[in-house]
Structure formats: structure tokens, C-alpha cells
Amino acid sequence: MKKLNSIIAAFLIMVWMPTMGQTQKGSVLIKNATVLTVTQGTLEDTDVLVENGIIKKIGKGLSANNVTIIDAKGKYVMPGIIDAHSHVALDAVNEATAPITSEVQMADVVDPYDIGLYRSLAGGVTISHAMHGSANAIGGQNITLKHRYGTFNPEDLFMKDAPRTIKFALGENPTRVHGRGKNIQPRTRMGVEAVIRNGFNEALQYKKVWETYNNALKQKDATPIPPKYDERLQTLVDILDGKVIIHCHSYRADEIYALINTCRDFGITNIVFSHVNEGFKVAPELAEYTMGASVFADWWAYKFEVYYSTAYNAAILTENNVITSINSDSGELIRHLYHEAAKTQRYGQLSDDQALALITINPAKQLGIADKVGSIEEGKQADLVIFEGHPLSVYAIPQMTFVDGVKYFDINDDQDDMRLRVSANETVEPIFLKEHDHNCMHGVDFFFNNFGRSLFQHSH
């Protein structure tokens, strides 16, 4: 009997093992939709066949066996929306203890229970770039998430084939936290530039020390002493080696230009500027030297460094050939990025394809995942949204959202309570009249903003 038990146990382990680290993949056939491919135009009355999480075929009159068929006649299908700047599903956002904290990993603090994931799925968002906050000139390493809501395992949310990225931050936030908050550099934009430049130079020295050591090892009978390993500096070395994409919180044209110059001096080309409210003022430079700008549609005047900005930012950047995306940096905004993208038609009259690219293929390019997601193309991962009404219309309503061909949101099967976990000692559910999580200065802001005076404002 004991032997039988252990055989069963061994069998169960064998069955269970291969499923470890495997996320669910689905198959589905969406029929008769208006397909907004983003990269290959709009296809009327078209079917999309998804097999095992991948877009297998796009065409008319497709059929498949043993696959769920969805009739999307009169509806629109677009690629899953991608948010290049988010803090949804993070337990912590800022490690505000030093101007450089490149050793920190957001992958360590992913919270799969966050209802924000489901709410963003209900707004058609399938991928978010979960970022460190903006307290430090060089912050932590970010993690790109696929919104596979329902899992209790944070790793199931990771988009494992996405490249590494890291958060940088310029301007008011790092100077406020470190300069004014702790009386250490940086207190000015001069200091921010110097902190980053010094960091890269130190990383070069560190790289050289290791190279010397590794070369010494190759000598016969060599017994060199290994240098001390430093995760912080090694990460900066990886940036210099082009292995990590920088996503830099920034607002003013001068600080953006200064970092472009720093990057050029160190041969760094993998850089995306985020928020970048004054990006339009240095659009030609952003187009020439960077992976583009990820902006807000219309936010301004919530702090001084965004006072001289314009809602036409995204349109100006787009028309100047800057790779441009629209991000949320907010647990609220992430739910209607399709509407935020549409604002570029109010402010700058972008075309439908230009506007849709802002929340699909362009953020995919900025995250280094454009070969896998961001458009409806055969061979790409099946992250799809079905809309009632054109997604750029204010009256559009997302109906279903798929990640890897698996349906995670269906408006006709939407339970009132979609929480994965309810506290056992909660007798009455708390009512929150304002949400302050999910933004760049989460975790540090309260100590710097007049204790409630500015609580009702954006703090990014």
C-alpha cells in the first residue's frame, strides 16, 4: 500500500512537473469582424483563427474543429492594448533610498491579486510594463506583465520573452526626494545629469576590473582574486552593453536633451522617454537618437515641470517620426487607453491607424516585443480585444479580452466581484473614495505633499 502511494505520488509529480512554468494557451475562431490589424490596415468581414495561443490565420471563411467560435459580426477586433508605463499589480513601487538603485527588481513585488489587472483587462489592456517609481535618477529594473488574471503565482504574469528594462527619472521627483528630502545630490537638473553620467563611468571601471580578472584567469596557473560582485554596477554595465532598455521618466525638453547627449556619449541607443510632456520641443532629436516617447494624452499643470506642455504632444511627436505611445501611469487611466489614444484625433487629427499604433505596435517596439505582439499578424501571440463600436469612439465598449488566446474578460460573463482573495477578518468592505496607488511616486509622495493638501491631485 505504501508502495502504491509512492507510485501515485511519483505519477502525480510527473504529470504536474511539465505544467510548472507553463502558462495557459487558448484556441479560438473569431468570425466576421472588422479587424484593425494596425500594421496591415483594416480588414472588413474577416476571421481570425487562434491556435494554442498564436494567431494562425487571418482571412475570410475560415473554419476549425474543436475550437470555440465567436461571431463578431458588426464588432471590431484590435490587438491587445499595451501600456508602456504602469504600476498596476505592484506591492511596492519606490526604493527611494539612493539616487541609483539599479539592483532592485520589480519582479520581486508583483501582486497577482491586484483587482487593477482585471479592470485593465476590461479596458482591453493585455500587457503592462510594471515599473519602478520615479524617486531615483536610476531606479529599479521593471517587469513586463501579461495580464493572465486568475493565477496566484506572480511568475505566471511575467512576459518571459520580453527583454530587460530599467527605470530612470529626471527633474522634480529625484531632486525633491534626494536633494530637498535628504540633502544629497541631486538637487538640480545638473545633479541628475551628473549622477547618471558618474554611474555609467563607474560601471565602465567595474567592467574593466572584471575584464582584467577574466583575462588573468586565462593565464596558465593563474590564481587571481575575483573582484567584489556588485549587482548595481553590473546592471549599469548591462545597459552599456545594450542588454537593457532604459525607460526614463522625464518632462522638460532640456533634461531630455541632456540625457540624449549622455547616452550618445556612452553609445546607448536603447532608450525610451516616458511622460516626456515637453518631448514635442525636442521631437527631431527624439526621432533621431532614441526609441521614442511614451506620453500622456492630455495631462498637464499638475506640477510646475508640466505647466508649459500641450495636449498636442503625441500628435507633434508622431508627425515628427518619433515612435510614440500613450501610457497610463495610473490604475484609473489604464482602463481606457483606447479613449486616451483617440484624444490625438481631437488634438492633432491623427488618422485611425496612427492613433491605434500609440497603444499597440508602438509601445510594443518600446518594450522590445514588437516581433511577438502589438498587431494582428499571423504568427504573433493572440492578445486580442473585441469592441462594440470603433475603439477610438467615446462610445466604444470592450466586449472580450484575450491573452495568448485565452479569454480573461467577457462583458457578458462579468461577475460583480472579481477579487481573487477576500480578507477573512474583513467584516465590512472598505469604501475608498480616492485611489492613490498605482502611480510613479507611490510610497514616497505622502511625505512631500503638505499632508493632504495635494492629495486630490495627480502625483506622477
Partner 1 sequence: MKKFKSIIYLMALLLFPMIAQAQFDGEFIKPRNGKFLLQNATLVTVTKGTIQNGSVLIANGKIEAVGQSIPAGDAEVIDCTGQFIYPGMFDGGSRLGLVEVNSLPETQDFAEIGQVTPNMRALVAVNPNSVAIPVTRVSGVTTTLATPSGGLFPGTAALINLNGYTADQMSAGFEGVILNFPTSARRSTWDRRSEEDVKRDADRAQKNLNDIWERATKYHEMKTAKAELQFYPEMDQLAKVIAGELPLLVEVNAAGDIEVAIKWIKEKGVKAILTGVAEGWRVADKIAESGLPVITGPMLSIPTRQSDRFDAAYTNPGKMAKAGVKVVIRSNDAENTRNLPFNAGFAAAYGMGKEEALKAVTINAAEVFGVADRMGSIEAGKDATLFVSSGDPFETKTQIAHVFIDGYRVPMSNRHIKLYQEFLERSPGLEK
- Near partner 1 in 294-313, by CB under 8 A: 298-304, 307-312
Minimum CB distance to partner 1 smaller for 270 or for 277: 277
Task: List the one residue from 32, 39, 261, 345 that touches partner 1 (CB under 8 A).
Answer: 345
Task: List the one residue from 8, 12, 216, 455 that touches partner 1 (CB under 8 A).
Answer: 455
Q: Which helix (H) or strand (E) holds 29?
A: strand 28-36
- Cell numbers for 54, please give them: 498564436
Q: How many CB atoms lie within 10 A of CB 119?
A: 18
316 binds partner 1 (CB under 8 A): yes
Give 100's contacts (C-beta < 8 A, 6+ positions apart): 136, 137, 138, 195, 199, 232, 236
Task: List the one residue from 10, 212, 397, 447 that touches partner 1 (CB under 8 A).
Answer: 397
Size of the site for partner 1 (CB under 8 A): 75
Q: How far is the CB of 175 from partner 1 (least distance, A)?
A: 13
Decide if 250 contacts 171 (C-beta within 8 A).
yes
178 binds partner 1 (CB under 8 A): no
210 binds partner 1 (CB under 8 A): no
**Interface with partner 1 in residues 325-344 (CB under 8 A):** 331-332, 335-336, 339, 342-343
Beta bridge partners of 244: 164
Give 292's contacts (C-beta < 8 A, 6+ positions apart): 272, 273, 286, 317, 322, 323, 324, 325, 362, 365, 366
Minimum CB distance to partner 1 smaller for 178 or for 336: 336
Q: How far is the CB of 330 from partner 1 (least distance, A)?
A: 9
Minimum CB distance to partner 1 smaller for 141 or for 360: 360
155 binds partner 1 (CB under 8 A): no
Q: How many CB atoms lie within 10 A of CB 29?
A: 20
Minimum CB distance to partner 1 smaller for 265 or for 288: 288
| 3-state secondary structure at position 361 | helix
7 binds partner 1 (CB under 8 A): no
Q: How far is the CB of 327 from partner 1 (least distance, A)?
A: 16
Residue (of 195, 283, 281, 259) closest to 232 by Cα position: 195
Residue (of 142, 120, 15) closest to 409 by Cα position: 120
Beta bridge partners of 295: 275, 326
In angstroms, the CA 308 to CA 312 distance is 12
| 3-state secondary structure at position 33 | strand
In angstroms, the CA 94 to CA 174 distance is 11
161-194 burial, b at 16+ Cβ within 10 Å, e below that, comes to ebebbbbbbbbbbbbbbbbebeeebbbebebbbb
**Which bin fits 66, alpha (ψ -120 to 50), beta or left (φ > 0)?**
left
436 binds partner 1 (CB under 8 A): yes
249 binds partner 1 (CB under 8 A): no
Q: How far is the CB of 283 from partner 1 (least distance, A)?
A: 7
Minimum CB distance to partner 1 smaller for 237 or for 293: 293
Task: List the one residue from 57, 187, 197, 346 that touches partner 1 (CB under 8 A).
Answer: 346
In angstroms, the CA 432 to CA 202 distance is 46
Q: How far is the CB of 397 from partner 1 (least distance, A)?
A: 6
Minimum CB distance to partner 1 smaller for 97 or for 457: 457
Q: How far is the CB of 210 from partner 1 (least distance, A)?
A: 38
232 burial via Cβ count (<10 Å: 0-12, 13-18, 19+): middle
Minimum CB distance to partner 1 smaller for 132 or for 336: 336
251 binds partner 1 (CB under 8 A): no
Task: List the one residue from 74, 349, 378, 447 that touches partner 1 (CB under 8 A).
Answer: 349
Minimum CB distance to partner 1 smaller for 298 or for 377: 298
In angstroms, the CA 331 to CA 115 distance is 10
DSSP string computed for 221-281: T--PPPPPP-HHHHHHHHHHTT-EEEEEEE--HHHHHHHHHHHHHTT---EEEEE-TTGGG
The window from 13-21, 32-40, 113-121, 235-243 that contacts partner 1 (CB under 8 A) reads: 113-121
208 binds partner 1 (CB under 8 A): no
**Interface with partner 1 in residues 21-50 (CB under 8 A):** none
Minimum CB distance to partner 1 smaller for 36 or for 236: 36
Task: List the one residue from 281, 293, 361, 376 that touches partner 1 (CB under 8 A).
Answer: 281
Task: List the one residue from 348, 363, 368, 374 that touches partner 1 (CB under 8 A).
Answer: 348
Task: List the one residue from 88, 315, 357, 403 that touches partner 1 (CB under 8 A).
Answer: 315
122 binds partner 1 (CB under 8 A): yes
Structure letter (DSSP) for residue 406? E
456 binds partner 1 (CB under 8 A): yes
